[in-house]
Structures are given as C-alpha cells and as structure tokens.
Structure 1
Amino acid sequence: MKEKIFVYGASGHAKVVIDIIERQGVYDIAFLVDDDPVLKETDVYGYRVIGGKAELLAQREEVAGGIVAIGSNKVRVKVVGWLAENGMCLVSAVHPSAQVARGVILGDGNVVMAGAVINSDTIVGNNVIVNTRASIDHDCMIGDGVHIAPGATLCGTVTVGEGTFVCAGATIIPNLTVGARAIVGAGSTVIANVPDGATVVGSPAKVVKRF
C-alpha cells in the first residue's frame, strides 16, 4: 500500500502539486491543510481541506508525512519550520516528465514540475520549487527554500543562495553566484554575481533594490 501524506496548501499552486503526486503514483493524498478558515471543509480535486495547524496536529497519526504546496518562499519556509518543530517529515514530488540527470542530489520537500530539467551533478537543497519548464544545468548548487519559476534558465555551475526567487523566464549565465534571499526579475539576464538580499531586473540585470 502507498503511504498516505498531506498537502499543506489549497491554492492554485497546490492544484499543480496534487496533479504531480497523482501522476507520480508514489503516495496517496489523505487530506489538505490550509490556514485560511474560509477553506475549511472545502475540497480541491476531491481532497478535503481539514483546516489548519490544529487540525493537522489532531490527525497527524493518519499520515506518514507531507509536502508544502505554497509558492511564496517566505511563507513556505515558515510552514516547514513549524512542521519540523512538530516532528513531521516532508516528501518530494517530481513530475514524470521532468528530467533529473545522473548525479543529481535532491533534498526533502522539493517540487519538480512538468518539463523541468535538472542536469548532472547539481545539488538541490530542501523545500525548493523547480517550476514548469525551468532548466538547471550541470554542477549547480541550489540552496534551501529557493523558487526557480517557470521557464527560468540556470546555466552550468551557478550557485543560488537560500530563499532566493528566480522569476519566470530569467536567465543566469554560467559560473555566477546569486546570493541568499535575492530576487531575479522576470525575463532578466544575469551576467554578474548578485549580492544577498538584492533585487535585480533587466537585460543585463542591474540592482534596483537591496535589503
């Protein structure tokens, strides 16, 4: 029998994650969890939203683990921290059409979506989203809590720090480092290292904000 898991989140992003889990065929979804009280006792694709954190704690014995289906890096990391504090483990979901090459190391709680490519000897941390048709080439290092958005391209030997958001259609040329908690704007072309906490936009990308 397949292990039963929960999906934390009931938004559009969660719909995509549910579809991946169903297609992957490794786990059965027992229920959904969402902190929005309006969503309690609703359903998504036939799966019931039991409520938020309190309800999950009450039903935790029914599941072997779960996955956080929240696109926001900041919110996702907070939820992951709470789950860890309460002794709940995370699983990963990889769409069958994704290409994960030889030598790739994937952490826990990751979502790899349809058409994504992760090439040889890349290391992906925990709770990372590699979104639809994103491409990560060889020998990259992806930190915890990163979101690589649809259609983004990371060339070889790129390092991305924890909590960074690489927006849709962005390109990062080889051998660069994008710092932690940075934002690479949609469609940007990154040709130089990006500092921690910086937002870069344009082609070539330039820093427009720092935190």
Structure 2
Amino acid sequence: MKQKIFVFGASGHAKVVIDIIERQDLYDIAFLVDDDLSLKGHQIYGYPVIGGKDDLLGSDVRMGIVAIGSNRARRSVAGWLRENGFELISAVHPSAQLARGVSVESGTVVMAGAVINSDSTIGREVIINTQASIDHDCAIGEGVHIAPGSTLCGTVTVGEGTFICAGATIIPNLTIGHHVTVGAGSTVIRDVPDGVTVVGSPAKAVRQC
C-alpha cells in the first residue's frame, strides 16, 4: 500500500501539484488542507478539503506537501508543519528531466517539462515551474520560485525566497541574492544584491526592499 499524504493548499497551484502526485503514483492523497475555512467541505478532483491547521493536527496523516505559490506563505506553512512533526515530500513530474548529480530537497515541486542539468542543487520548498530550464552546477536556495519558461544558464546561484518570473533569463556565473524579484521576460547580465526587484533586458533595478 502507498503512503497516505495531504496537500496543504486548495488553489489552482494545488491542482497542478495534485496532478504531479497522481502521475508519480508514489503516494495516495488522503485530503487537502487550507486555512481558508470557507473551503472546508469542498472537493478538488475528488479530494476533500478537511479544514485548516487545527483539523490537520487531529488527523493521523503525518506526511504531505505544501501547494502554495507565494514564497513567503509556502515557507511559513512548511516551517509550521516541520515544527509540528510532519514530514514533507517532494513531487517531480514524470516529464521533467533531472540529470546526473541533481539533488532535490523535501517540500519541492518540479513541474512538467522542466529541465535541471548536471550537479545542480535545489533547496527545500522550491517551485521549478512548467518548462523552466536550470543548467549545470546551479544552486537554488530555499523557498525560491522559478516561474514557467525561465532559463538559468550554468553556475547560477539563487538566494532564498527569490522569485524568477515567467520567461526570465539569467546568464552564466551570476549570483542572484535573497528575496529578489526578477521581472517577467527580463535578461539578467550581472549579479543582483539581496532584496532588489529588477526588470528589463538588460535587467535594471527598479525597487529596493
């Protein structure tokens, strides 16, 4: 029998995560959890939303994954789960390509068509979204979201909590800091310090947190 798990989140992002888990066929989804209590009793793809954190604490399912798109919210929920003794799984779509030497830590989701090349490391609670490309020897920090169609060339380092928006390109050998936002379609050609938003091609800073 497969291990029963929960999915924390009941949004559109959760639908994608559910599909990945079903296609992996490694776990059985028992139920969904969401702190929006108006969703309690609803179903997504036949899986019931049992309620929020208090309802989860009362269950006997101790393993799951956080399906929340927001980096800050996803990391907050994941931290709470770990503090309360829950184990987080990773979910990798069967069509994703993970090369030799790639490591993917717990709580991370790798979506359809993504490519992660040799010796790249993917931290906890990361989203590698649809058809994102991460080349060799990249290091992706905790709680990062690499959005659909983004391209990270070789030996790029991305700090924790950063959001690389859809279609962005990072050239090789750069360091993108913590809690950075790289705007959609931007081309990054130099290092980006912590807490900065950059947009354009070439990307330029427009805001400092």
- Smaller-chain TM-score bracket: over 0.9
CA contact 1:3–1:64 (8 Å) conserved in 2: no
Partners of 2:37 and 2:64 in 1: CA distance:
20
The count of corresponding residues between Structure 1 and Structure 2 is: 209
**Which position in structure 1 is the counterpart of 2:5?**
5
Name the structure 2 match of 1:54.
Answer: 54
The answer for unaligned runs of 5 or more in structure 1 is none
- The CA deviation string for residues 6-32 of structure 1, in whole angstroms up to 9 with x for no partner, is 000000000000000000000000000
Partner in structure 1 of residue 23 of structure 2:
23
Given that 2:110 and 2:128 are in contact with CA atoms closer than 8 Å, whether structure 1 keeps it comes out as yes
**What do you get for the CA RMSD once the two structures are aligned?**
0.5
Question: Any idea what the Cα deviations from partners look like across 1:37-82, whole Å, max 9, x if unmatched?
Answer: 11001000000000000000000x2x24000000000100110111
Q: Which residue identity does 1:127 align to in structure 2? A: E
Task: Give the secondary structure class of the aligned counterpart of 1:175.
Answer: coil
For 1:64 and 1:99, how far apart are their aligned partners in 2? 29
Aligned residue type for 2:50: I
Secondary structure at the residue paired with 1:17?
Answer: helix
User: What's the TM-score, normalizing by structure 2?
Assistant: 0.99
Instruction: Give the match for residue 43 of structure 2.
Output: 43
Aligned to 2:158: 160
Question: Partner of 2:94 in structure 1?
Answer: 96
Residue of structure 2 equivalent to 1:32: 32
TM-score between both structures, scaled by the size of structure 1? 0.98
Where do 1:107-186 residues align within 5 Å? 107-186=105-184
What is the CA distance between 1:138 and its match in structure 2? Answer: 0.2
The alpha-carbon deviation at position 84 of structure 1 amounts to: 1.1
Q: Against the structure 1 CA distance between its residues 58 and 64, is the aligned structure 2 distance closer, same or farther, given a 3 Å change threshold?
A: closer
What is the CA–CA distance in structure 2 between the aligned matches of 1:155 and 1:27, rounded to whole Å? 33
Runs of 4+ in 1 over 6 A off after TM superposition: none
Inter-partner Cα distance in structure 1 for 2:2 and 2:90:
14
- CA deviations over 1:117-163 (Å, ceiling 9, x no partner): 00000011100000000000000000000000000000000000000
Contact 2:62/2:85 (8 A) holds in 1:
no
Distance 1:46 1:197 in 2: 40
The whole-number CA distance in structure 1 between the counterparts of 2:147 and 2:98 is: 17
Letter matched to residue 112 of structure 1: V
Secondary structure, aligned partner of 1:196: coil
For residues 64 and 80 of structure 1, the distance between their equivalents in structure 2, rounded to whole angstroms, comes to 13
